[in-house]
Amino acid sequence: MVSSPTPLLEIRDLAVNFAVYGGELRVLDGVNFRMFAGERVGLVGETGCGKTTMMKAILRVLPTPPARIPRGEILFKGKDILKMKERELRSVRGTGISMIFQDPTAALNPVFTIGAQMHAVIQSQAQNNHRSIDRRKIWQLAVSALKDVALADPERLLKSYPIQLSGGMRQRVCIAMALSTNPEILIADEPGTSLDVTIQDQILRLLRDLVEKRNMSVILITHTLGVVRELTNRVYVMYAGSIVETAETTKIFSQPLHPYTRGLIATVPRLTGGGIASGIPGRIPDYRNPPIGCRFHPRCPHVMEICKQQKPPLIEVEPNHSVACFLYSPTPKVEL
Amino acid sequence: MQPLTETTLKPSSLTLEQVKQLERISRREELGRNWYKFSRNPISVVGLLVVLTVVLLAVFAPYIAPYPAHAGPFTDFANAKKPPSPTYWLGTDQIGRDILSRILFGMRSSLLMGVVVLSLVVPPGVLLGLLAGYYHNTWIDTLIMRVTDIFLAVPPLILALAVASVLEPNLWNSMMAVSLMWWPWYTRLVYGLATALRNEYFVIAAEVTGASTAHILFREIFPNTVSPILTKMSLDIAWVIIIGSMLSFVGLGVQPPEPSLGTMIADGAKYLPDQWWIAVFPALAIVVIVLGFNLLGDGIRDMFASEEA
Amino acid sequence: MSMLRFLIQRALYSVFVLFGLSIVIFIIARIMPGDPARMAVGARAPQWVVDRLREQMHLDKPIAVQYYYWLRDALRGDFGISLITQRPVTSDIMETLPASLELALYAAVIAGVLGIGMGILSARYKDSWIDNLSRLFSYAGIVTPSYIFAILFVLLFGFTLKWFPIIGRVSEDVPLPPKITGLVTIDALLQGQFSTFLDALWHIVLPSLSLAMGSIAQAARITRSSMADNLTRDYIANLRALGVSERLIMSRFLLKPSLIPTVSILGLDIAAILSVAFIVESIFNWPGMARYGMNAMLYKDLNAISAVILVFGAAFALMNILVDLVVAYLDPRIRLRAAKGE
């Protein structure tokens, strides 16, 4: 693994709130995250734990309002994205980091052709990098981007509207758009979840091949642990707006530490072993009044008094393996 | 008695009486919640206050108006076309009547028009919409909705004018004329809602348990259409008032010497710009009334719309 | 190709609706108390004249037969003689319709440009003073009837500031250009009479603005809210995430989907403008069809009333079809669905 002293992307204590009727949802509550060039990181957690919000925050595409970022830093190659002006931000978007959105149907503008949308992306990329480009070249790039994702008849596709494509084709188009910018980091938000299983499988395999061929850094969001095991070399586990554990992928599966991670891995059906595990009782908390202290404590089988009062910090308990849980806290437990 | 809450009871152990009591509780809670939401929005509250003020002024016009006699056949040419003064706060008109008094009385017919038209229009419009929506794709639907489409083919004002013009011009006939042209809007609104609701589980459940058609229409479907109907009503009342003023403006509504805001504006327009107060104050009165109902209507709509948030 | 079929279907349905409307109008015209024949000739005419006219007007026949004759004549473009002008209603309408159309056309352009423009500015600078001002203006526009605006404008811009003329289509000393379309501004331009064009343009500002005020407000409100709505969508976030500039997103990828609801509502609004124009036309002494129709109503001129309402109905139906076309142009989903014949 290529590892350099400054991380490619680092998130420090990021919080995101959403204004809703009569209050605020504290969806992200101090996220810490770090990745180096060449890493393929998996981000796992239940639906609604804030994975997508975190990724949209990185690219600053959360709708504001209702979203608000009260604190935190997002450093791309050491520079804080949250403090960038529009010009600088645009040079990070696409070329630096690009994103495949979760729902390809929602991510494509229904009243423009695929060609018009890809045209805008390719042309903007050239402008942002101060290159000049003509219409023919843009068209060629769009065609080759569609070919790269194994779509047949790209010329006709470019003239089509999203509604004329199947779900799988839309997903491939979204991948093609995100890759057409040649990003250093590719964020893939649950690719293929909206599709049926065989197509989802094809999409994931396609994505893996493309990533390997181009040697990109990847953040893969998913709640399917099998996908994580196959495609990533490091995992971040998220629960209710914070990272609760991170380690190399093999380590997470062989030696999960956080009670939540253990529960998560226990839910994976195994071919050997006795039947399907029971999973974790309870559900993600209400973000309007999240539990005080560790947000997992109401569901945790090992809950202690301190968990109800303090939020556990993310602490490296062994090299490359961090966990946010008082069970592993090196500091002596404070009796209150 | 043990307090009855949703958590102390298991669904299976409920008697019919308890279910009804629970329904009453949740309805009361909902009412309270809605009022809370409504009252949180200052603009809706302003709307409500304006409407209440206008209604009170109109109802008590005979006691509030400085010159109640001026609302009838009264002339005082010595005091004609006097500008606003401490004696006549808003001035006098071309034959010496106090404009403030006439505005207060004019608001009575405006409001009466709004209330009467809506109460004539909403029940049949809603009923037809429920029927057409519930009997979707049958001849009942076809018949009702095709007739509705015909009435919706021209703006309601023009047909109302036509009907008003062939009848004797007075307040009641202008109400009839507007009512005759207004029901299709409610039919279409409710039709759209009812066609969707007829496939809901609670309607199907009522059907398989053998509930009567009347029960399904009025107890199952209708309650779910109430909030859009109420919203439309509060915005429509402003429209009816405007249309009423236009009818009387052209002389097809309230007849002189009975005061009406539309007639006052029409008469006053002849004395512009020198005696501007004759037309401007009644016009302002209309704007204020319509504004009040619009703010109120928007408040009601937002109150129902933000249900999910 | 199936877009054509969709159009034909819409047109056929409009014909059905207009046919139904003609029945409604006929019934309205017949519920009037009094004898139309007697009214046509006046109270002092001898009885035999009335009787002969009754026969001519088929008033002695059953009501269904009367309707048949009326409809047959109407389809031939013959709506009878107007009581007020004593001329064929059809020629009255041909003469007054262009003036109304011109008014509606200018009102539509003003409403579209100002309304959508204000909406875009409001959405772009949301919650700034521009937005607040435009929302305040929208509210005023929605709650104030057009005739009150007309009076206000006459008072302010006509009498006090004297910026605009307040009567007629052109100044008294300016001859009307020879009739080609009947729209004075366009006829003047076609014939190169530039000063007449300017004069006519000057005259149409206040009446068309009075009529457009409500629609400007409506369009601004809808454009603003639908832009604000669409701004939170993933298809906007996607383009942003891939480095497309804010300017391009706003002016192209956000604007087009947001205009769809505005266009559908604005279109119907403008069709309705024609029919509420009667008071505004009277205030500005505008020789249009709405004013003609109102006079017909005041004098119980049944032939003219029926014709005017039918023409309004036809205009409304045409406008509906036009709106459908524009929306289908803006929204490929509707276009493609129509093509599939759904």
DSSP-based helix, strand, coil % in chain A, nearest 5: 35, 25, 40
- B118/B160 Cα distance (integer angstroms): 14
Chains B–C, number of C-beta pairs less than 8 Å apart: 116
pLDDT 10s digits, A176-226: 998 888 888 899 888 877 778 888 888 888 888 888 888 888 898 887 788
B/e letters for A170-199, b = 16+ CB within 10 Å, e = fewer, are bbbbbbbbbbbbebbbbbbbbbbbbbeeeb
Half-sphere exposure at residue C16, Cβ-oriented, CA atoms within 13 angstroms: 11
pLDDT for B306 beyond 60: no
Of C240, C245, C256, the CB nearest to A61: C240
The answer to whether residues B50 and B43 touch, using CB atoms and an 8 Å cutoff, is no
Secondary structure element (H or E) that encloses residue A173, with its range:
helix A167-179
Give yes or no for a contact between C140 and C241, defined as CB atoms under 8 angstroms apart.
no
pLDDT tens per residue, range B154-198: 878 888 888 888 888 888 888 998 998 899 999 999 998 898 888
**Amino acid (1-letter code) at residue B239:** W
The DSSP-derived string for B243-291 is HHHHHHHTTSSSPTTS--HHHHHHHHHTTTTTTTHHHHHHHHHHHHHHH
Task: Give SS3 for B128.
Answer: helix
Query: Could you tell me how far CA C180 lies from the centroid of its own chain?
Result: 21
Q: How many pairs of residues across A and B have Cβ atoms under 8 Å apart?
A: 5
Residues from chain B that touch C32, judged by Cβ atoms under 8 A, are 166-167
Asked if the Cβ–Cβ distance from A111 to C332 is below 8 Å, we say yes
Amino acid identity at B52: L
Percentage of residues in chain C with pLDDT exceeding 90? 18
pLDDT in tens, chain A (336 residues): 444 578 888 888 888 888 876 678 888 888 888 888 888 998 988 777 888 888 888 888 888 777 888 888 888 888 888 888 888 888 888 888 999 888 888 899 989 999 999 999 998 888 888 888 888 888 888 888 888 888 888 888 888 998 888 888 898 899 899 888 888 889 988 887 777 888 888 888 888 888 888 888 889 888 778 888 888 889 998 888 888 889 888 888 888 888 888 888 877 655 444 444 455 666 667 777 788 888 888 888 888 888 888 888 888 888 888 888 888 876 545 444
User: Where residue C239 falls among pLDDT bands split at 50, 70, 90?
Assistant: very high
Q: A289 is written with which tokens?
A: 């009044």
Q: Which residues of C touch B283 (CB under 8 A)?
A: 148, 151-152
Q: Per CATH, the architecture of C105-301+318-328 is what?
A: Orthogonal Bundle (1.10)
Name the residue among C232, C236, C242 with its Cβ closest to that of A98: C242
| Cα dihedral sign, B92-B96-B98-B103 | negative
* Segment A243-288, tens digit of pLDDT: 888 988 888 888 888 888 888 887 765 544 444 445 566 666 777 7
Q: Closest to B165 (Cβ–Cβ): which among C300, C313, C317?
A: C300
- Ordered by start, the domain boundaries in chain B are 58-65+107-309
Instruction: Name the residue facing B269 among C28, C151, C316 (closest C-beta).
Output: C151
- Give the closest residue to B272 by CA, choosing from C208, C147, C161, C152: C152
Q: What are φ and ψ of residue A39, in 5° steps?
A: -75, 150
Beta bridge partners of A219: A41, A187
For residue A186, the cross-strand partners are: A98, A218
Question: Which residues in chain A touch residue B309, judged by CB atoms under 8 angstroms apart?
Answer: 20-21
C-alpha C98/C-alpha C96 separation (Å) is 6
CA distance B279 to C156: 14
| CB contact (8 A) between residue B286 and residue C145 | yes
* Out of C234, C241, C246, closest to residue A59 by CB: C241
Closest CA to A53 of A203, A207, A221: A221
Domain ranges of chain C: 105-301+318-328
**Which residue ranges form the domains of chain A, and what is each CATH number?**
9-328 (3.40.50.300)
- Quick check: B306 contacting A, CB < 8 Å? yes
Supply the ipTM of this predicted assembly. Answer: 0.85
SS3 track for chain C? CHHHHHHHHHHHHHHHHHHHHHHHHHHHHHCCCCCHHHHHHCCCCCHHHHHHHHHHCCCCCCHHHHHHHHHHHHHCCCCCECCCCCCEHHHHHHHHHHHHHHHHHHHHHHHHHHHHHHHHHHHHCCCCHHHHHHHHHHHHHHHCCHHHHHHHHHHHHHHHCCCCCCCCCCCCCCCCCCCCCCCHHHHHHHCCCHHHHHHHHHHHHHHHHHHHHHHHHHHHHHHHHHHHHHHCCHHHHHHHHCCCCHHHHHHHHHHHHHHHHHHHHHHHHHHHHHHHHHHHHHHCCCCCHHHHHHHHHHCCCHHHHHHHHHHHHHHHHHHHHHHHHHHHHHCHHHHHHHHHCC
Give me A71's structure tokens.
């604190």
Residues 30-89, chain B: which have Cβ within 8 Å of A?
Answer: 37, 40
Per cent of chain A over pLDDT 90 is: 5
Query: What is the pairing mode between strands A234-239 and A242-248?
Result: antiparallel
Helices (H), chain B: 16-40, 42-59, 61-64, 99-134, 139-151, 156-166, 171-197, 201-208, 213-215, 226-249, 261-269, 277-305
Quote the CATH superfamily of domain B58-65+107-309: MetI-like (1.10.3720.10)
* Coil, strand or helix at B306: helix
User: What number of residues does chain C have?
Assistant: 342
Give the distance from CA A179 to its chain's centroid: 16
User: Which chain B residues have a beta carbon less than 8 Å from that of A20?
Assistant: 309
Is residue B307 pLDDT above 50, yes or no?
no
* Nearest partner of A192 among A213, A166, A158, judged by Cα: A166
Determine contact, residues B257/B73, Cβ cutoff 8 Å: yes
Residues of C with CB under 8 A from a CB of A: 231-246, 248, 252-253, 256-257, 260, 330-333, 336
Q: State the pLDDT at residue A216.
A: 87
Q: Using CA atoms, how far apart are residues C272 and C280, in angstroms rounded to an integer? A: 13
* DSSP reduced 3-state for A94: coil
Indicate whether B80 pLDDT > 70.
yes
Please report which helix (H) or strand (E) contains residue A13, including its range. Answer: strand A9-20
Per-residue pLDDT reduced to its tens digit, B142-152: 999 999 988 88
